[in-house]
Homo-oligomer: A and B are copies of this chain.
Amino acid sequence: MTNNNPEWVGFNQFDEDNGLFPADMSYSIQNYRKNILVFRQGGVCDALYILIQGSVKTEMITENGNLLGIEIIKAPRPLAPAFLFSDNNRFPVEVTTLEDAEVLRIPKEEVIRLMTSQPDFMKQFLTHNANRTQFLTNRLQLLSIKTIKGKIAHFLLEQSSEHGSKFVINRNQTELAGFFGVARPSLARSLSEMVQDGVISINKKEYTLLNNKGLRELLL
């Protein structure tokens, strides 16, 4: 779920000009220190925000006040660009810095101008949003799996398809539990059972898949 390959910065085509952005673009830049709340869930989203330095995490506050981890975002990438144009243009998630960060802000009108005048900008915007939607859909699928082992299996198999049968997951159990929307001890129990059953092995944060068939059976 961590975004390792930035898929969009919006201004690839202008990089040579005068550093980063089109010369005539109106924008502002805001800096944040580590562990600072950048956007509050429900806050109005009236501009396009692009994380150009550092990393942040996004979390959704469930109605009981718990936090459901969504994803970790590393620069450069836009933050929740989909909501800029929604009728109820509010942030659906909390955004908090994980390290010192720098955020570019482009007013909505300016975005519309860029969109109509720069077809490449528009296409990238569309593609990025489409990919975001697909991510959310995937997230939905993960949450719809009822058993914890099923969620783990889904997650590990997905990782495996990208990184092979041995890989590192840079999240501790508490974060993983938040990501899955389950209690931490419950996650630990499921993990240790899966290790005992020999379908996976865990060494610190390195996970090895030992029995893909067995993992797939856990999805049911």
Residues of A near any B CB (own CB < 8 A): 7, 60, 62-65, 68, 82-89, 92-93, 112, 115-116, 119, 122-123, 126-127, 129-134, 136-141, 143-146, 150, 154, 181, 219-220
Q: How many copies does the complex hold?
A: 2
Contact A154 B63 (CB under 8 A): yes
Contact A181 B86 (CB under 8 A): no
Contact A64 B131 (CB under 8 A): no
Partner of A136, one of B89, B112, B140: B140
The residue on B at minimum CB distance from A131 is B86
Contact B134 A83 (CB under 8 A): yes
Contact A82 B129 (CB under 8 A): yes
User: Which 9 A-B pairs give the minimum distances between C-beta atoms?
Assistant: A86-B130, A63-B219, A92-B137, A82-B133, A85-B130, A64-B220, A85-B126, A143-B143, A136-B136
Bound form: Cα–Cα A142–B129 in Å: 22
Partner of A130, one of B83, B143, B181: B83
Partner of A144, one of B62, B86, B145: B62
Contact A133 B134 (CB under 8 A): no
Within the complex, the shortest CB–CB distance from A116 to chain B, in Å, comes to 6
Within the complex, the shortest CB–CB distance from A52 to chain B, in Å, comes to 22
Bound form: Cα–Cα A116–B122 in Å: 9
Bound form: Cα–Cα A131–B115 in Å: 19
The residue on B at minimum CB distance from A93 is B137
Within the complex, the shortest CB–CB distance from A6 to chain B, in Å, comes to 13
Within the complex, the shortest CB–CB distance from A115 to chain B, in Å, comes to 7
**Residues in B neighbouring A139, C-beta threshold 8 A:** 140
**Residues in B neighbouring A63, C-beta threshold 8 A:** 141, 145, 150, 154, 219-220
